[in-house]
Structure 1
């Protein structure tokens, strides 16, 4: 009988959870505990400082016994590369037995890999886990295409490229809805905003090889949904996968793990678009400008985007901005007073 890993113990008492309103991470630890799809070992998901997510081993290890290149730290719910203090965290893929590794030079990592392998073998033997089957095309070669791949878009914010689980127009919010108590049904794309990004052609961020090897994807371009010119608040909202109602200032926790992944040209090659997409998310500032209502006051350049409610319209005049409406009301009161004096 195999000995379970220290992080697989189920005798730990349940504890209450509290989310600090100023915590940059809105993910609850209970919803971020899972098991690896390739080896069934327990993992803890943490938000990364650059907007992604990373699975870590669910315990800390002495920094002196961990190689420097695999040391991670967690602060305020965000994982960052590099150790801080005498203990550090280790990413699960470093010792995952479901991934092919080179020979371990560090004996500590070799022991963790061996223990994870024993846990995986025990789970397979007891029928609790079966390795996922990887479907491959029948024909090999340049004509082959991945099978059962759904349409996924790539969003870009300067040098950060992320793959969304669906198209840009269907990307769903992951926050917890206070009304339903479940995942919010709102979309990240704000159709009422003046500008929410645009399709742009950029070079594929390829990995650099050795000096004597040719660079992959060198000189090739792809179409991405560019967020370079949106406001900073909107860029944070997109990378956090939240709708406008749960954007900046919202303290609602995540009801579902974030589904956006950091773009890898090798693993996400099927997501690369070489032709400009035609989707619902193709509006531009010029198109939205036609739906902008101008203030009815002569000489005023203020306006409002979107449909104007009927209660904000002034009969016989139209819509007045926040600056001109008090002036109009004051003029009306003065006009009525002069009319009353003349009638008397």
Structure 2
């Protein structure tokens, strides 16, 4: 008996099978945010509960509570609203708003200015959920103690390097060679290509003075290792700033599946990431051809 080949367009009773057309998510050309909401949900590294990441008006990411809360239950300092995929630090006049997860995280001490007695039941609910995750082994909280730099670390590639892009210092999320593109591929997955392309002009390590931000006290005259990209053309620096590989830099219609990992460098907050010596030379296959 010869097997009967299966017909992909028909059911077992030969009735037509309706196959919905495959549609891909797209970002409008006039959207202020290039970020898709797919894949932007993660878990707090302190309590393990769900958080939603959104870019702020100053390009910094912020973790918001996944659901809206009544505006009357939230203090003025914790009211946020979303507009075009961008989080803004005030309410929009409606009866509901979003709230930063830091104001509800059970593993963090609430600030008196942002705490509200009406949010205590929600904070208690997150605490019970976090304890359930810890007891079942589904989550292990990270320590709040920041890592300290050792003299031996200056002889290695920085785990979180400081890069100068468009005359602004940024703190990277990982080593320069391991920073990957954030764009979405045709398979609806994040691109795995690094943004460091040996075929394109690359940056170089140099010692530059720490630059205090506006309003900060003058720091001691120290120099730190910086991956300088300021000599590159504007298009290449913009590609690094938006964290896109060479292929996706030429494809503006491709949306982002993740936030760019760059964080504005603050010499007071990021002292542990300041390296006073240049890292060893890069391997030959990572140098500019």
Deviations 1:125-144 (A, max 9, x none): 4443332357888xx99989
Q: C-alpha distance in 2, partners of 1:143/1:191?
A: 30
Aligned to 1:99: 108
> Any unmatched runs of 5+ in structure 1?
1-15, 210-214, 282-287, 289-305, 307-344
Task: Give the secondary-structure state (helix, strand or coil) at the position aligned to 1:246.
Answer: helix
Aligned to 1:57: 65
Cα 1:231/1:53, change in 2 over 3 Å: farther
Q: C-alpha distance in 2, partners of 1:110/1:219?
A: 46
Confirm or deny that 1:89 pairs with 2:98.
yes
Deviations 1:267-300 (A, max 9, x none): 643321222445449xxxxxx9xxxxxxxxxxxx
Confirm or deny that 1:118 pairs with 2:128.
yes
- 43, 51, 67: which one aligns with 1:43: 51
Confirm or deny that 1:252 pairs with 2:261.
no
Higher Cα radius of gyration: 1
Aligned to 2:74: 66
Q: TM-score, normalised by structure 1?
A: 0.59
> Any unmatched runs of 5+ in structure 2?
1-22
Contact 1:197 1:230 in 2 (8 A): no
Q: C-alpha distance in 2, partners of 1:61/1:122?
A: 23
Contact 1:203 1:221 in 2 (8 A): yes
Q: C-alpha distance in 1, partners of 2:55/2:189?
A: 21
Greater relative CO, 1 or 2 (CA 8 Å, sep 6+): 2
1:241 deviation in Å?
A: 1.1
Confirm or deny that 1:223 pairs with 2:225.
yes
Contact 1:26 1:251 in 2 (8 A): no
1:102 deviation in Å?
A: 4.2
Contact 1:40 1:129 in 2 (8 A): yes
Cα 1:169/1:125, change in 2 over 3 Å: closer
How many residue pairs get aligned? The number is 259
Q: C-alpha distance in 2, partners of 1:100/1:276?
A: 38
Q: C-alpha distance in 2, partners of 1:36/1:28?
A: 20
Deviations 1:284-342 (A, max 9, x none): xxxx9xxxxxxxxxxxxxxxxx9xxxxxxxxxxxxxxxxxxxxxxxxxxxxxxxxxxxx
Cα 1:189/1:51, change in 2 over 3 Å: farther
1:59 deviation in Å?
A: 1.8
Q: C-alpha distance in 2, partners of 1:39/1:67?
A: 23
Aligned to 2:196: 189
